[in-house]
Each structure stands twice: as structure tokens, then as C-alpha cells.
Structure 1
Amino acid sequence: MSKMLPTRKRKALCAFILLDHLENELEEETVKRQKKQFWVRSWLLKRQEKGCFHTLLDELHHEDPTHYRSWLRLDEDCFKQLLDMVTPLIKREDTVMREAISPAERLAVTLRYLATGETFSSLSYSRISRQAISEIVLEVCKAIYTVLKGNFLKIPSTEEEWHTIAKRFEDVWQFPKCIGALDGKHVVVQSPDNSSSYYHNYKGTDSIVLMALVDADLQFVYVDVGTNGRVSDGGVWNKTTLCQALMGNKLHIPPPSPLPGRIKPVPFVVVADAAFSLKNHLMKPYPENQLNSESRVFNYRLSRARRCVENAFGVLANRMRVFRAPIALSPKKVEHIVLASTALHNFLRRQKTGRALYTPVTLTDREDLGTGDVLPGEWRAEPAPSSMVQLRATGSNNYATNAKAVREEFRDYFSTNGVVSWQQMFH
């Protein structure tokens, strides 16, 4: 029909249609801009007026110090000390649009997340948006690990430091020449898109592996996190830098020497469970089908020393309850959470006031000095955390003759020169 119109009218009609189209586009753009002006919910904008995490902490500090400490798993002195360290890394400048979230608020919301495992949506009712919290938690976890790792999560580099660790194992757990208890956990995560079965572990969940060496005081000496859960559990240990350095004699560990009262030199060793392979520097229990009286005593003495790493993981999951359930974040983000949590664990274990708050005496395994019995810590009464899955026993039963000889020397020592009155009662 338009072809039957005169040329002038056709042109006028086309111009009218084009103008109408442009007006519609302009109207849609105006609506979009108006929507963008309200990108923050009104109740979130009242953060400065009504208060948030830091305001609540001030109130708890003055009115209810007990709940202040339980709310973040640390006391005010530890909070201020940690805040001073991380502030240069997490402080943001105010803009003409809004005031920046303060370092104290950023640290508080991150510690609350680690302590409770609350979702970002739940934490947003502190008047910080869920999107902001997701960025803050990752940023602050990176900062915590950065400022603490040098002093609180540093593997020993001198013979004297290794001697100190070994002396504590001998004094506290009656296992000489031990430089750490080793274990690992699958930390259940949210699988990234298009990752297929890359992170799929034997339990049917997606995970990354946390491998840790722990000292006699339940502090992490070394952590390796991030290996995808699909890798066999025995293979994870072999891939760690600690294993490679340990087997390559690159850690400045003291040279072999005899056990107390013995003649044959033996190396300093790490104690582990059946999931690992027996090596010169790595002692594991005797298999059940190879047990006599002496090997049972060895297994019992080794299991006592190995309680250190069990307790470290138990305390971590009990106090950092983000590990009580699968962490619905990508593997890379969970790595930062794990590293920050283990460094923070060590930081709190070394504080005079913070240690008693973070790990009350009854929370961890402790020894009855009269009988030698080990009283189980309260963390053991809790259900196993679903975010931490035990490694499978994939260690090979094949081992070198010299590794067997090292274990036999420890076995003979525990039944002769190193015997204690209570060991026969419990093995």
C-alpha cells in the first residue's frame, strides 16, 4: 500500500516511524538509568546511620565481653593486633558516591564468616551487601595470610628449629626425633563450570586437598592446599614440595643420630597413618596382620604422637566453622580461605590470652600425667565436618629395606630404653 502513496508522503511516513522508534529507545534508556540510580537497597544505605559489624563489636566490648570473644573467636587485643597488620592491605578510600567500608568492618565480617560459615546473604543483614561481602572475604583472607605467613606459618629452615620441634614431641608425647605429624583432608568445594570430573574425589564430591604437617603444640608447620580431589591420596603427598624437599634432604634437618640410650643412628621422622607409604623419614603403623607385642606398642606410641594433627584439624573445624559444611565457592577462593584459616589458627595458638579462648583446655586431647592415658578433647564429640573428608589408605606396603630398619629401631626402642610404665595398658 505504501508504494501507492506519493513519494513525499512515503518519505514523511518513514520519518515518522523512525522518530517513533528513536523515542521508544530513549524512553527505555531513561528507565534503565533510573533503575541504576537505586542499585543499593535503601536499608543498606543506612549502614553508617544505623551501624553494622563494628558498631555491634563496640557494644559487645563494653556491655558483654564474653560474647564479643565468642562472636569472632578472639578477644579485642588480638582483633586490634590483627587489624593493625592488615589495614594497609585492605583500606579503601571514600568516594563522592559513598563512604568506604572501614578496615575494621572488613576484618570483622571476614572473621565472622570464618567463625560461623554463615552465607554471604545472611551476613548481608549487617548492612553490607552480599556482593560486597563476597569480595571483602576473599580480599581480607589474602591479606591475613600475607601478613601472618612469615612469622606464623613458616616451615623451619635451620637444624635448631627442627631440634626444638623434636624436643617438644619427646617431652609432650614421648616420641623422640619426631619433627611433625602428617595428615590430609579433602576440603569439599563448589565445582567450577566445565571442570567435568577434575575435582571429583572418591566420595563422589568435588574437593581440593589440604595436606598439613603439625607440631606437638597443634600448630601447622607446613600446609599444601589446592591439589584437585581426583588425584589419588597417596599421590597428593608425593606431589607436595615438602615431600620432595624432605626426601631430597633440602630442609636442613639434623643428620641421623641414635635414639636415647641406643647405638644405631636413625633419621628424624614424620609420623603418619596408613594412608602413606613407609619411608626413611616417614613412619606409619604396622599392618594389623603383622602385629606382635612390640609392634603393638610401636603403633600405640605412634598413634599418640599422631593425635597432634588430628587435634589441629579438629580444632580448625570446631573454631572455624566455615569447614563444618561444604564451602559453596570455587576451588581458588577456597584455597585463600584455607590458607588464611591455618595461619590465623597458628596466630591465635601463640597469643597469651587468645590461646585459652581459641582452644580451651578441654577442647583438645590431653594426657593424664598419672596414668599416661590420653583424655579425648571435646571436639571429638561433634559429628565429623562434612567439608573435611579423610584421605583413603592408599599408601603402598612396599618399602625399602632401610625404611623397614628405621621403623624396627623405633619399635625396639619403645620396648627397651624408651619404655614407659603405662604403654602396656593401652596398646
Structure 2
Amino acid sequence: MEVENIDQMLLELYELYSLYNLYKQYKNKKRKRRYKIRPINQNWGVCGYQIKTFLVMKNREPEQFFLHTRMPPDVYDLLLNLISKSLKKPRQRIGPEERLSLVLLYSSQGVSVQSIAWSYKLGKTTVREIILETCEVIWQLLSPIYVSEPTESQYKDIAKDFYNMWNIPNCVGAIDSKHVAIKCPANSNSMFYNYKKFFSIVLMAVCDAKYTFTAVSIGSYGSQSDGGIFRLTPFGHALIQNTLPLPPPPLSDVSPEPFPYFFVGDAAFPLRNNLMRPFPGANLTHTKRIFNYRLSRARRVIENSFGILTARWRILKTTIECNPENCVGLHSLTQFYNVE
């Protein structure tokens, strides 16, 4: 009797294994393409958005060109020159300038990939690949130039700007995070679901007194706290380990001892010698309220930077229809902002 049960179980397992193999073959089978080029896209070379609209804007309508690219023509030409070699592909009909204009339209207006595909007379999959590849190229080439770690002398200049513009001494940066909405990831449970009740990944950044980002990290889960994300970022780790090239503490007229240079953040960040946060509570002394007010003025700079960033690149105001790993590739938007 036991032998018969074992044989029956083995037979059922074999049937399940066979069904699993058939399922894998079905999933891996490539769908046969109906068209090599869709009929509506076959006149791409003469009727596409690049030929009919973008190049005309570039030559005749500077105001409309700025709305499309979110940058003046000289900055656009600089950006194109920096990345054009890396965007060229052999036997590829879509040139570097069309790839860049496509990505800038997607980023500045926040329109869907399908809408861009219809306008540019390209396939939807082709447009998605162009967006991801171009953003990755921009990040790889521009991040060492425009988001490189400040030097000791640059930190001194940043501190001077904070003191002159926001009346807070020895401040070398403001730090905060922004939740970027994404579509619900597959098998995500709740790790991307934040307290604001939508799925997101987190952009954490540091900026100087003039709203320019000096450090950027993106890709953390939306359910994590700002303090937890801060400790996981390379910048946060360097700040905690005191390995940033901050200048030595200068002598101050208001303090008998040298006062260190520091960053400012909100109450979610830890209090350290080189990271200031506001005093907690409501019943504070006059001195502590003044300190919180001064700190808030400096910390507001990073919030304004996020506001400028999202106003310029409206894709950040929408729900990005990408997987989390692809959304991380779109972090080069901060380079478009810093390039000016």
C-alpha cells in the first residue's frame, strides 16, 4: 500500500514538473513581431516631432525651445557636446540630438512614454530604452563634474554664502529627502509604501546656499525614515565617520572655543558635532527659539531646491511608470538642474 502511494506521488510530481517546463517555454517564447516598422512610423524621417517641431523651435522659437528643454540654448549645446559621443550607436537611425530632445521632453513635461512614441513616430519600447540609456549616460558623465564632493576651500565658500545670505555661520549644507512617486512594484509587499500612502523611492540630497546640489543619493525604500536612509548613503556614512574634507573649526567672536562646520537637517536626522537639528518641543526658551528660527532659514534652502527641481522637471510631480531599478536611472535629472 505504501509503495503504491509513493508511486502515485512520484507520478504527480512528474506531471507538475512537466507542466512547469511547458510554462517556462511559453514565457520564454518571443512574440512574433507584426511589423518591422509600424505603418504610422514609416514617415519618421520627414514627419516626426524632431524634424517638424523641435528643430524649428531651436532655430526660430527660443521661448518654446526653453519650455521644451528647460535650459537656454548655450547650456543645451554644452550638454549635447558632453554626451553626444556616448549616445552614438552603429547602424542606428536615431541620432544623439533626437535622443536628448526626447528625454528632455519626457522629463520637462511629464508626459507618458506612449505619447512621446506617437509624437516622435517611434516604437514605445524604443522610446523607453532611449530614456533609460540616455539618463544613465548623463549620470555617468556629468556626476563626476557637477556633483563631485566639495573640497575644503569650496566648503569654506559655501559657509560664507550661508552666512551672507541666510545669517547662519559655519553652515556648509542643508540636507533633506524627497519621495518620488512610482507605480506599485511587483511583489513589493510594503517596503516602497510610505507614510504619505503612495509607493515611492527616496531622493536624498545636500545643497549649498545657492540651491545647487552638492551630494545626491536615490534608491532607498519609501517606507524607510530619513534618519535610516541617511545612515545608508555614502554621504551619511562619511559624515558619521568624519571623513568629509570639512575645514578645521575656526575661531569665533561669539564662542570661546573653535566652533565646527556643520550641515543642517530637520528633526529626523541625528544630532552630531557636524550635523545640527532643531531643539525639540514647544515650550522653548527665547534663545532656543532663535536658534530654531536661524536653523530653519538655512534648512529651507534644500526644500526650495526640491521645489525648483520639480517645477523644472515635471516628471517628478507625476507617478513614474517604471520599475524601481529603472527609476533610479532617472536620477540624472539633478544633473540637468546643476548644469546651469
TM-score by length of 2: 0.86
Question: Does the Cα contact within 8 Å between 1:285 and 1:302 map onto a contact in 2?
Answer: yes
For residues 322 and 138 of structure 2, the distance between their equivalents in structure 1, rounded to whole angstroms, comes to: 19
Question: Does the Cα contact within 8 Å between 2:75 and 2:339 map onto a contact in 1?
Answer: no
1:220 CA drift (Å): 0.7
Does 1:59 pair with 2:56? yes
SS where residue 43 of structure 1 aligns?
Answer: helix
* Structure 1 partner of 2:148: 154
For residues 241 and 270 of structure 2, the distance between their equivalents in structure 1, rounded to whole angstroms, comes to: 16
* Structure 2 partner of 1:165: 158
SS where residue 258 of structure 1 aligns?
Answer: coil
* Structure 1 partner of 2:43: 46
For residues 161 and 78 of structure 2, the distance between their equivalents in structure 1, rounded to whole angstroms, comes to: 28
* Structure 1 partner of 2:66: 69
Match of 1:136, as an amino acid? I
* Structure 2 partner of 1:347: 339
1:76 CA drift (Å): 2.0
Match of 1:75, as an amino acid? P
For residues 170 and 308 of structure 2, the distance between their equivalents in structure 1, rounded to whole angstroms, comes to: 25
Question: Does the Cα contact within 8 Å between 1:54 and 1:108 map onto a contact in 2?
Answer: no
* Structure 1 partner of 2:184: 191
How does 1:169-318 map onto structure 2 within 5 Å? Answer: 169-318=162-311
For residues 182 and 301 of structure 2, the distance between their equivalents in structure 1, rounded to whole angstroms, comes to: 25
For residues 238 and 117 of structure 1, the distance between their equivalents in structure 2, rounded to whole angstroms, comes to: 31
Question: Does the Cα contact within 8 Å between 1:177 and 1:259 map onto a contact in 2?
Answer: no
Aligned-pair Cα RMSD in Å: 1.7
* Structure 1 partner of 2:5: none
Query: Which 5+ residue runs of structure 2 have no aligned equivalent?
Result: 1-31
Q: 1:138 aligns with which of 101, 123, 132?
A: 132
Match of 2:50, as an amino acid? F
* Structure 2 partner of 1:333: 326
Q: 2:79 aligns with which of 79, 82, 86?
A: 82
1:336 CA drift (Å): 1.4
SS where residue 190 of structure 1 aligns?
Answer: coil
Question: Does the Cα contact within 8 Å between 1:54 and 1:104 map onto a contact in 2?
Answer: no
For residues 290 and 242 of structure 1, the distance between their equivalents in structure 2, rounded to whole angstroms, comes to: 34
For residues 225 and 79 of structure 2, the distance between their equivalents in structure 1, rounded to whole angstroms, comes to: 37
* Structure 2 partner of 1:92: 89
Question: Does the Cα contact within 8 Å between 2:211 and 2:305 map onto a contact in 1?
Answer: yes
For residues 283 and 92 of structure 1, the distance between their equivalents in structure 2, rounded to whole angstroms, comes to: 48
For residues 72 and 282 of structure 2, the distance between their equivalents in structure 1, rounded to whole angstroms, comes to: 50
For residues 260 and 100 of structure 1, the distance between their equivalents in structure 2, rounded to whole angstroms, comes to: 65
Question: Does the Cα contact within 8 Å between 1:176 and 1:259 map onto a contact in 2?
Answer: no
For residues 253 and 60 of structure 2, the distance between their equivalents in structure 1, rounded to whole angstroms, comes to: 55
Does 1:106 pair with 2:93? no
For residues 133 and 260 of structure 1, the distance between their equivalents in structure 2, rounded to whole angstroms, comes to: 59
Alpha-carbon displacement from aligned partner over 1:279-324 (angstroms, at most 9, x marks no partner): 2111111224241221121111111111210111000110000011
Question: Does the Cα contact within 8 Å between 2:185 and 2:323 map onto a contact in 1?
Answer: yes
Alpha-carbon displacement from aligned partner over 1:367-421 (angstroms, at most 9, x marks no partner): xxxxxxxxxxxxxxxxxxxxxxxxxxxxxxxxxxxxxxxxxxxxxxxxxxxxxxx
Count of aligned pairs between the two proteins: 308
For residues 54 and 255 of structure 1, the distance between their equivalents in structure 2, rounded to whole angstroms, comes to: 56
SS where residue 274 of structure 1 aligns?
Answer: coil
1:58 CA drift (Å): 1.9
SS where residue 179 of structure 2 aligns?
Answer: strand
Alpha-carbon displacement from aligned partner over 1:237-291 (angstroms, at most 9, x marks no partner): 1222212211211112112233344322221111111222222111111224241
Question: Does the Cα contact within 8 Å between 2:45 and 2:51 map onto a contact in 1?
Answer: no
1:142 CA drift (Å): 0.6
For residues 116 and 60 of structure 2, the distance between their equivalents in structure 1, rounded to whole angstroms, comes to: 22
Match of 2:261, as an amino acid? F
Does 1:128 pair with 2:113? no
Q: Give the direction of change, closer, same or farther, for the CA distance of 1:77–1:262 in structure 2 (3 Å limit).
A: same
1:54 CA drift (Å): 4.9
Match of 1:281, as an amino acid? N
SS where residue 226 of structure 1 aligns?
Answer: strand
SS where residue 339 of structure 2 aligns?
Answer: helix
For residues 267 and 308 of structure 2, the distance between their equivalents in structure 1, rounded to whole angstroms, comes to: 22
For residues 194 and 292 of structure 2, the distance between their equivalents in structure 1, rounded to whole angstroms, comes to: 29
Q: Give the direction of change, closer, same or farther, for the CA distance of 1:282–1:130 in structure 2 (3 Å limit).
A: same
Match of 2:241, as an amino acid? G
